[in-house]
Amino acid sequence: MVDFANNDVSLIIRCRTCGVDHRIMVGSDHLEDYENGELVQNAFPYLTPDERELIISRTCGKCFDQMFGEDLG
């Protein structure tokens, strides 16, 4: 668990494919870093790959897997 020192931000992101809302908690400083061009994996190393993909493309993990398969590695 990440301690944001009361600087956490709740992001509500709707998947553009299925329309389901997802809530992701991030630090406000981390969000600012991302908005200023930091790579998502560097700004939010504590998020899961599915959560980071949701921020990048507004596609949830379930829909992403349906579109591209579960294992891209």
Ranking 2-6, 11-15, 16-20, 23-27 by mean pLDDT, the lowest is: 2-6
pLDDT digits (tens, 9 = 90+) for 22-69: 999 999 999 999 999 999 999 999 999 999 999 999 999 999 999 988
Which pTM does this prediction carry? 0.83
Q: Do residues 19 and 27 lie in contact, with contact meaning Cβ atoms separated by under 8 Å?
A: no
Residue 30's closest CA among 54, 13, 11?
11
The answer to whether 64 and 50 are in contact (CB under 8 A) is yes
